[in-house]
Amino acid sequence: NEGALWGARFASGPSPALAELSRSTHFDWDLALYDIAGSHAHAKALAAAGYLTADEEQSMHEGLDELARGVTDGTLRPAASDEDVHGALEQALIGVVGAELGGKLRAGRSRNDQIATLVRMYLLDHSRTIARETLRLVDALVAQADAHPEAIMPGRTHLQHAQPVLLAHHLQAHAWPLVRDLERLRDWSARAAVSPYGGGALAGSTLGLDPQLVARELGLDRPAENSLDGTSSRDVVAEFAFITAMIGIDVSRFAEEIILWNTREFGFVTLDDGYSTGSSIMPQKKNPDIAELARGKAGRLIGNLSGLLATLKALPLAYNRDLQEDKEPVFDSVRTLETVLPAFAGMVATMRFHTDRMAALAPQGFSLATDVAEWLVKRGVPFRDAHEISGHLVRVCEENGLELHEVSDAQLAGVSERLTPEVREVLSVEGSVASRTGVGGTAPVRVAEQRAELVQRVQDA
Ligand code: ARG
């Protein structure tokens, strides 16, 4: 088994079936540049502890640089006989610097502490890309809110007309969960920036290598406190998978609304041609495929998280090969979000809102009935009675095929003597929205304040 990282104690090489099962280069090659960065840091630690001369260290760094160039330009690829990225790169290094020097690099480290470190480095890098793309979506939401400061739409609960709200309020309501996702990524990164390097296979190293040096070189905050935990925990990976799933779910909830808004029945939005798709048979179709794919892929992100949690749930300490199953799902989550978010943000940024249609629907479905009840409360009517009176008024409207603002003074008085014609002051959607001045409410003044807070929170995240 020429070139493998192990084999001396085996009488025979691995069976082809084992090699096939064990091979991970088709996905862990994505970690090659991180592996090389780890090797640079490890070479420094070996030299600092006296295991490499200055010349050897120098040749080692040069050799590793050459590998990095090969990885980047695609000329260095794993061979079919390589088990994993670590073995493939050691073989390549030996090819460049010779077996004598190349064979020294592995001292004091194990693939177990390496992989646990590399996956953190990979995720930390991609967390920055995902944060940037999430931020673009938040920006698109805020820009659309800014472009429609006065538009009023039907606010819904149970998908039924409930109370009118500002479109800007609704759009910002989709931005807030994403802001919390950005904060989650930031909080997570403090836990992720820990280096298991130096933990060895499980119990630590005898060689006196400096793990601080390695952590610092890799841009991580500090070495792991416990070598067993460092090499075998993957909660940091699972937490990252949760955050990606949560972003997927937050996007998917908005996607579902866009799909509804884009129907003829709603008619609230038109999607830009560059962000919608056609049908192979129906020439007239223009479909919201980006929103549907975003909604569909949220399921996939949840699946990746669930699968990973299931892998972890019964693993004894310390490293077990099951842990290799962390990478494909979490790499898939990264790729999924990195393709969904740019398309989704583009769709949101270019979406046209039909504010007339929204405004026409906003007062329908007796959405001002709560305003009537609260108007009565302000005049000393107990809410319980006010609720009854307003509900009675709704029934009269329904029986006569009227909306609330269409009833006559006589009909108002017929429901209750407390319903004087002055109640009409709250029977406009503009009046209703403007009067919701409580904290976090939909009144334009509150929505403007909220926008400022939102932007501040994004800046802090
Ligand atoms: N490929 C493994 C993983 O992803 C790392 C290699 C550890 N292999 C081993 N036999 N201990 O977790």
Q: Does the beta carbon of 128 sit less than 6 angstroms from any atom of ligand 1?
A: no
pLDDT bucket at 2, cuts 50 / 70 / 90 = low
Helix spans in 262-353 (H): 289-312, 327-350
Query: If you measure from the C-alpha of residue 328 to the centroid of ligand 1, how many angstroms do you get, rounded to a whole number?
Result: 13
| pLDDT of 246 higher than 90 | yes
CA dist list (Å): 107 to 115, 231, 259, 350, 385: 16, 17, 57, 56, 81
CA–CA separation, 372 vs 193, rounded Å?
55
What are the residue numbers of the active site?
Answer: 158, 279
Model confidence pLDDT, tens digit, residues 420-449: 999 998 899 999 999 999 999 999 999 999
Q: Which of 111, 231, 236 to mutate to test the pocket of ligand 1 (most atoms within 8 A of CB)?
A: 111
Amino acid at 309: L
- Indicate which atom in ligand 1 lies nearest the CA of residue 84: 1
The reported pLDDT for the residue numbered 11 is 86
Which residue, judged by its Cα, is nearest atom 12 of ligand 1? Answer: 324
Coil, helix or strand at residue 40: helix
Q: Does the beta carbon of 320 sit less than 6 angstroms from any atom of ligand 1?
A: no
Query: If you measure from the C-alpha of residue 231 to the centroid of ligand 1, how many angstroms do you get, rounded to a whole number?
Result: 10
Residue matched to tokens 């939005």: 269
pLDDT bucket at 1, cuts 50 / 70 / 90 = low
**pTM for the predicted model, two decimal places:** 0.95
Q: Domains in the chain, start-ordered, CATH in brackets?
A: 16-107 (1.10.275.10), 112-207+226-358 (1.20.200.10), 361-460 (1.10.40.30)
Q: Does the beta carbon of 109 sit less than 6 angstroms from any atom of ligand 1?
A: no
Tokens coding 336: 């999924």
CA–CA separation, 345 vs 138, rounded Å?
8
More confident residue, 194 or 279: 194
Q: Do residues 92 and 70 lie in contact, with contact meaning Cβ atoms separated by under 8 Å?
A: yes
